[in-house]
Structures are given as structure tokens and as C-alpha cells.
A and B are shown apart, each in its own frame.
Chain A
Amino acid sequence: MTRMNLLVAWFLIAAAGLLAQTKSVDVLKEESSITYRMSHPLHHIEATSKDGWFRVEIDPAKKEIKSVTAQVDVMTFDGGNSNRDSHAMEVIESIKYPDVTFASTAVKQRADSIEISGKLTFHGVIQEVLMRGVAKWEDHKLNVDGAFELSLTAFKIERPALLMVPVEDGLKFSLKAAFAF
């Protein structure tokens, strides 16, 4: 009888585990973008990529994000001035390091607020970054708005200069990502 109880318990645990399984969902590119913002004493520079690849592991039943991976081709950032964008590509050595990648190591959620920490690979350097944002769940859709900042010098990037004056060290990113599941 004890054996049978154990077997039934095992069966229930296994079934519950399967029902709670996560889903892997890719981003809806047409509704998603990532923008960086650089500051220079003369003006601010913004460039946006609408061609980023993001994938989330989610538990739709619990409305939880389990993990995030992302990859963006640095050449897809468009700031409306190809000369300036080209200058940015030169300093980040886009031929040698064509992509920025991110892999989450921890995801914290409290109501709509979300904190995703992970390893960002940029310019061949891996650094820990923390993204704070908002995750809004709909019936079969997840919208994430977030922002994070990184230091150019921490990623061994020579700060681009205009008229011999370099930009500020902080590079601010904001992103919008939509996922349908």
C-alpha cells in the first residue's frame, strides 16, 4: 500500500511538472525596438534598431519570465545620420564584433515590475548588466519595456568624439519587446 501511495504521488508530481512547463517565445520584430542614447555637450544622439532578436522562456500560467536571451546586429542601429552611425561602428569595431548578445542569469518580478540581470557581450567584453522595466501580460501577449545603462570604457570602447570632444561615458539603452504566445 505504501508503495502504491508513493507511485501515485510520483505520478501527480510528474504530471504537475509537465503542466507547468515553460514556453520559448521569439520576439515580434514589427512591434519591438532597441534604442541607444549617447550624450555629447553639443547634442544627444539616438539610434534605434528594429531588427533585434529576443527570446524569452515564459511560464504563461504563472505569468512569469524565466529567462531572456537577445542578440542585436550592431549595424542595424539607425540614428538618421549614416556618417555618425558609421563613426559609432568604427569605435565599436563592428567588423570584428558584429553582434551584441545578452543572456539572463536572474529574473525578478514583482507585479508588473521586472529586473533582469545577465551577461552582456559587447565589443568582445562580457559584463554583468541589470535591466529594469515593466512586463505587461495580456491573454496571449507579453509586452516588455525596459532600460539599462552601460559604461563605454568598461567595454573597452574608445569614446567617439565630435570636434575633439568625446561623448559621455554612459550609454543608455531602452527597449520595447512584444511576444505572442
Chain B
Amino acid sequence: MKYIAMVAVLTVLSIQTMLGQDDPLPLVPEAAPQSNQMFMPQLDVRTQLVLDQISRDQFLAPSDSFPRPTARKLLPNNISWMEKGLWGEDGFLRTSGIAAPLTPESRTSELSLRRGMLVAHQIGGFVTLGLMASAAYAGQKIIDGNSGYRPYHQAFVAGTIATYSITGLLSILSPPPVIRRDEFSTTTLHKTLAWVHAAGMIITPILGSMIGRRSSSTQKEHIHQLSGYITLTTFAASMITVTF
């Protein structure tokens, strides 16, 4: 009787050993014993899974079952010189005390600020587009011979310059994003078109200021008109691109 029991136990143990050899996970994690370590019970994988199940049932995240999260970089690698100068680890805003030192908490706040600034950037874009179109309409009326539109044109131009500048600064000065890859996307196109309409926003008012009130300045008027329409078109196009 004793022999049968012994044989049965030995057979079970031998089967367990054989199966354990093919198992990708060892039943007992291999760890070198350390003399200065407190006693920790070693749990086999199945026991650990049962404990994980219990922890799941208790509505707790089974954190021990998952790989540890990798260390996260707080700033993307390819930030612009402006972003680095302002928001980098040793950027002006941090060294001057305006912004908090670079920590996960401060970056979370900065990303919230970034979102607010970019929402304002979008609203500013719509306002600027409206003012710019109005300035173009009033300017066209002047060219068509309705000089009474001149004060309106000048007011719309002043408004356009103000809102355009604020809208641009909201984007340029915003904290850097969490992700920036080297890629071509609609945002790349949006930014490329921004260089064109920014140039237009500098050149068009200068050309406008060069126009005299005499009929001899017709050619300058047309160049100013063309510059204005190119600026308006590229500005509208840069807004449309981000919707795709």
C-alpha cells in the first residue's frame, strides 16, 4: 500500500517536472538568493495568476501582471529653437521663474495651457479671416472708384494686423506638444502656408502705404491688390488644410 502511494507521488512529480521543462514560464521564478534580503515567499506562476484574479475581482488594477511603464520623456526630441529657448529644460520661461521647472506635473499644466492657446488660435483665425476678407472687399471698392470705403478699409486692415499678430503669437509661444514626429501632414502644410501669408501680411500693408491718392498710383494699387488677395487666399487655405 505504501509502495503504491510512493510510486503515485513520484510519477506525478516526474510528469510535473517533464511538463515544466517545455513551459515558457518557470513555475518558480529564478532569483539569486541575497543574504541581506528579508524573507519573501516565492510564488509560482499559477498562484500569482490566482492572486491577480483576486485583485481584479476586488476592482484593483493588477499592476504586478503588467510590464512596468517605460520612462517617459517630457519634451519631444525635435522641438523648434523658439520652443527650446522658451520651454526647454533651461528655457527662458523656466530660468526666469515665469514657468515651473520641468516636471510631469508642470508639463501636464503646460499641455492644458497649450490646448487653451491653440483653441484661442483657432478662434483668432476665424476672426482674422473675417477682418481680412472685409479689408479686401473695402479695398476692392476703393479701386473700383468708391473712395468712401477708405476709412473702413483702414479700420479693417488695422483690425486684421492686430488679430493676425495675436493669433500667430498664440501658436508660436505655446508650450511644445508631447509628440512631434518627422512627417509630412496637414499640419506641415498649415505651417508652410503660414510662411506665405506671414510674408503677405508684412508686404501688403507696406505696399498699401506707398499708394498715393492720385491716379498715377494705379500700378501700385494693383500690386497691393494682388498681394492682398494672395495673402487672403493662402490664409484661408491654411485654415482649410487643418480640417483634413
Picked from B12, B49, B123, B183, the residue with its CB within 8 Å of the CB of A11 is B12
Stretch at the interface among B111-119, B135-143, B153-161, B222-230: B111-119
Does B199 reach chain A (CB closer than 8 Å)?
Answer: no
A1 to B115, alpha carbons, bound, how many Å? 80
For the complex formed, measure the closest distance between the CB of B235 and the CB atoms of chain A, giving whole angstroms. 15
Tally A residues with Cβ within 8 Å of B: 52
Contact A86 B70 (CB under 8 A): no
Contact B15 A7 (CB under 8 A): no
**Known contacts A73-B69, A86-B179; is-contact A81 B4 (Cβ 8 Å):** no
Nearest A residue (CB) for B186: A81
Chain B residues whose CB sits within 8 angstroms of the CB of A57 once the complex forms = 49
Does B32 reach chain A (CB closer than 8 Å)?
Answer: no
Picked from A75, A81, A84, A101, the residue with its CB within 8 Å of the CB of B66 is A101
Determine the interface band of chain B, counting residues with CB < 8 A from chain A: 35 or more
Chain B residues whose CB sits within 8 angstroms of the CB of A103 once the complex forms = 52, 56, 61-62, 65
Does A113 reach chain B (CB closer than 8 Å)?
Answer: no
A143 to B61, alpha carbons, bound, how many Å? 26
Does B67 reach chain A (CB closer than 8 Å)?
Answer: yes
6 contacts between A and B (CB under 8 A): A89-B178, A90-B114, A93-B108, A95-B111, A99-B69, A101-B66
A positions within 8 Å CB-CB of B: 3-4, 7-8, 10-11, 14-15, 18-19, 21, 23-25, 42-43, 53, 55, 57, 67, 69, 71, 73, 75, 78, 80-87, 89-91, 93-96, 98-99, 101, 103, 105, 119, 121, 126, 161-164
Chain B residues whose CB sits within 8 angstroms of the CB of A19 once the complex forms = 15, 19
Which applies to chain A's interface (DSSP): helix, strand, loop or mixed?
Answer: mixed
Contact A82 B180 (CB under 8 A): yes
Chain A residues whose CB sits within 8 angstroms of the CB of B23 once the complex forms = 23
Picked from B16, B53, B185, the residue with its CB within 8 Å of the CB of A83 is B185
Chain B residues whose CB sits within 8 angstroms of the CB of A82 once the complex forms = 177, 179-181, 183, 185, 187
Nearest B residue (CB) for A70: B66
Most buried by A among B12, B66, B69, B180: B66
Chain A residues whose CB sits within 8 angstroms of the CB of B111 once the complex forms = 89-90, 95
Nearest A residue (CB) for B25: A24
A86 to B119, alpha carbons, bound, how many Å? 14
Does B28 reach chain A (CB closer than 8 Å)?
Answer: no
Picked from B8, B69, B70, the residue with its CB within 8 Å of the CB of A10 is B8
Contact B185 A95 (CB under 8 A): no
Contact A126 B11 (CB under 8 A): no
For the complex formed, measure the closest distance between the CB of A140 and the CB atoms of chain B, giving whole angstroms. 12
For the complex formed, measure the closest distance between the CB of A79 and the CB atoms of chain B, giving whole angstroms. 9
For the complex formed, measure the closest distance between the CB of B3 and the CB atoms of chain A, giving whole angstroms. 11
A71 to B67, alpha carbons, bound, how many Å? 8
**Known contacts A18-B19, A90-B114, A121-B61; is-contact A42 B178 (Cβ 8 Å):** no
Chain A residues whose CB sits within 8 angstroms of the CB of B72 once the complex forms = 75, 94-95, 98
Does B24 reach chain A (CB closer than 8 Å)?
Answer: yes
**Known contacts A57-B49, A95-B74; is-contact A24 B112 (Cβ 8 Å):** no
| Extra pairs beyond A99-B69, A163-B242 (18, CB < 8 Å) | A4-B4, A7-B5, A11-B11, A43-B244, A57-B49, A73-B70, A75-B179, A81-B183, A82-B180, A87-B118, A90-B115, A90-B177, A95-B74, A95-B104, A95-B111, A103-B52, A103-B62, A119-B59
